[in-house]
Amino acid sequence: MTPLEFFLSGTMSAATVFLLAALGELVAEKSGMLNLGVEGMMAISAAVGFVVTYQTGSHIFGFSIAAVAGIFVSLIFALVSITFLANQVATGLAVGILSLGVSALIGKKYESLTISAPDPIFIPGLSDIPFIGAVFFQQNIVVYCAILMSVMIAFCLNKTRLGLAIRACGENPKAAEALSYSVWKIRYGAVAFGGMMAGFAGAYASTIYTPLWADGMIAGRGWIAVALVVFGTWKTSRIFLGAYLFGMVTLGELVVQSLGFAVPSQFLTAMPFVITIVVLAIISADMSRLRLHAPYSLGETYDGSESR
């Protein structure tokens, strides 16, 4: 690969971590649930996914158990915030912090161990196209699955009855209840889906993107995923583009170092977070746009479900 091909190909891999987690958070927020525990869910799923894959040698089994772990943690958040009507922000932070600690405990015996990542898929004919083939058609299957999930989630939220129900719960839960939708069930399902996607993102980070376990390896990617939902103004297409933008910035650290520029590594590591703050500040300056796209009842508890 040429340096440019390596950079663009690596961007697709780096963006997948953000994209998977952000898509799950998007669905949860569309239902009115603000889950700030994504970082912790990714961390515990990364630990579980690595341990299972290391012990069994099966990435499929590792991803499956990691998804279960993500769903389990998300349901703790859902139980406290939906059933017991606790503040969503405080609950998400508490669950996230707890999960970070549990992930360190689970992965303690596996510190610095490595596994083999699955080989990329070479799409016959397309992978041989100069430049384009090396960048787009020689990727891991999870990269393609994440792109497919983006299309499916966009279609579901905008074109299906289920998507209408999810959006109704996020906009006006009382109206959704009047239309015979169970706000309680839909929000539980949306949060669980977000946990599953965070589980996939964590497993991808620890078993494919960086196939090793190290405490703190998620390194703020969960927070960037939450910020991406706001960055994309709750639109799937914009979140998709934002994920690839942040993937490019993340990979930029390696590119700058490989070119020999004397830039402190700490500055390069901090760049994704600096850009996140700057972008969110710019977007927040136009509150009318945020109010236009943000779910109206986002972060609000609802105690009117008749289906309990």
Quick: pLDDT tens for 118-139.
988 888 888 888 888 888 888 9
Instruction: Quote the CA–CA distance of 184 and 164 in Å, as a whole number.
Output: 15
Averaged over 42-62, what is the pLDDT?
96
Instruction: Yes or no: say if 96 and 39 are a contact pair by the CB < 8 Å rule.
Output: yes
pLDDT of residue 158: 95
Taking only the tens place, the pLDDT of each residue in 209-219 is: 999 999 989 98
Instruction: Yes or no: say if 105 and 219 are a contact pair by the CB < 8 Å rule.
Output: no
Instruction: Quote the CA–CA distance of 36 and 88 in Å, as a whole number.
Output: 8
Is residue 195 exposed (0-12), middle (13-18) or buried (19+ Cβ within 10 Å)? buried
Residue 291: band (very low, low, confident or very high) from pLDDT cuts 50, 70, 90: low
| Lowest-pLDDT range of 137-146, 172-181, 228-237, 288-297 | 288-297
Residue 294: band (very low, low, confident or very high) from pLDDT cuts 50, 70, 90: confident
> Taking Cα atoms as reference points, which of 151, 188, 186, 149 lies closest to residue 166?
186
CA distances to 1, 130, 217 from 127, rounded to whole Å, are 12, 8, 31
Give the type of residue at 207: T
Please give the mean pLDDT across all residues of the chain. 89
pLDDT of residue 229: 94
Averaged over 232-253, what is the pLDDT?
88
Instruction: Yes or no: say if 32 and 181 are a contact pair by the CB < 8 Å rule.
Output: no
Fold classification of 3-293 (topology level): ABC transporter involved in vitamin B12 uptake, BtuC (1.10.3470)
Percent of the chain with pLDDT strictly greater than 70: 91
Residue 307: band (very low, low, confident or very high) from pLDDT cuts 50, 70, 90: very low
| Lowest-pLDDT range of 117-126, 244-253, 260-269, 276-285 | 260-269
Residue 2: band (very low, low, confident or very high) from pLDDT cuts 50, 70, 90: confident
| pTM score, whole prediction | 0.92
Instruction: Yes or no: say if 185 and 177 are a contact pair by the CB < 8 Å rule.
Output: no
